[in-house]
Structure formats: structure tokens, C-alpha cells
Amino acid sequence: MAILKILTEEDPILRKTSRKVDAITPRIQILLDDMIATLHKSGGVGLAAPQVGVLRRVVVVETEPGNLIELINPVIVETSGSQTGQEGCLSLPGRWGICTRPDTVTVEATNRRGERFRVTGTGLTARCFCHELDHLDGILYPDVADRMLTRAEIDKMMEDDD
């Protein structure tokens, strides 16, 4: 498994729409493996293929250690509730915003074996589903943020984490 380079917000690839995966090939399975390795190395909770320069509808999410969710051609089929909280992104290091997202999100997708499935996430997982699926359509979280945090707010947040 390779650690892939995570693109940052200046890269125009992040603003493009990803193409559907037509077949689960060994190349797609290697992409999933490499994305998982990259996610683990980065310390993030989600990663979309465009963030590593691949314009395919592929996402990995792991909001709880050991609970990895691989999504190929994911589509949000149901949402409910609302949550507002801090959001960041591996492609926008050092920036944070406040975003309102659904509290519960159900996604339909294909797994690496080509099987269709549905998965429902709440809280952070729901937020992550929305955030990562936005990447597939060239949307970055500042586009949907209620507001971005100021430098002083970010500094305070980092102090509180220590």
C-alpha cells in the first residue's frame, strides 16, 4: 500500500466532478487500499479520491478505529435532523469552519466486491459522509460553512486541545 499525496485547496482537481466507477477492477481495489493507508497516516476520519488526485466516486470513512467504511459510487438517499459543529479538511490544513449538516445520513453505495449496500451514520459519521461526498462534486466545506473560524479562534481551539 502506498501513501498518496493529499492535494490542497489550490489544486483545480478538487473543484472538478468525479466520474462514476463502472467496474470494480484491481486498480480500484488498490486505490481503496492506498486511500486507507493515506487516511491512517494523515490522522483524518475521511478521504475522497479527488483529494489524492483521482477523479472517481470513491470514499473511505473511519470515524471510529476499526470501523472502516468503503464507499464506491455513494449516493445520499436519506437525511434527518441537524447538527452544527466544527469541520476541517485534510486538503485545507490549518483552516476550520462551522458547518450545519444532517445529524443522520443514509448512503447507498457499492463495496469492493461489487455488492450494493446501505449504511446509516449519525453525528460525526453523518458529517463525514456529507463532507466526503461533497468532494466528489467539487465542493469544499468552506462553500457550505456557516462561517470560517478566525485565526484567534483556531489558536484558542489548539490551546484547549493541549
Report, as residue numbers or ranges, the catalytic residues: 132
**The amino acid at 41:** K
Distance, in Å, from the CA atom of 129 to the CA atom of 77, rounded to the nearest integer, reads 12
3-state secondary structure of 148: strand
Q: For 3-70, give the DSSP string.
A: PPPPP-TT-GGGGSPPBPP-S--HHHHHHHHHHHHHHHHHT-SEEEGGGGT--BSEEEE-SSTT--EE
**The amino acid at 20:** K
Distance, in Å, from the CA atom of 10 to the CA atom of 107, rounded to the nearest integer, reads 29
Contact criterion met (CB below 8 Å) for 7 and 53: yes
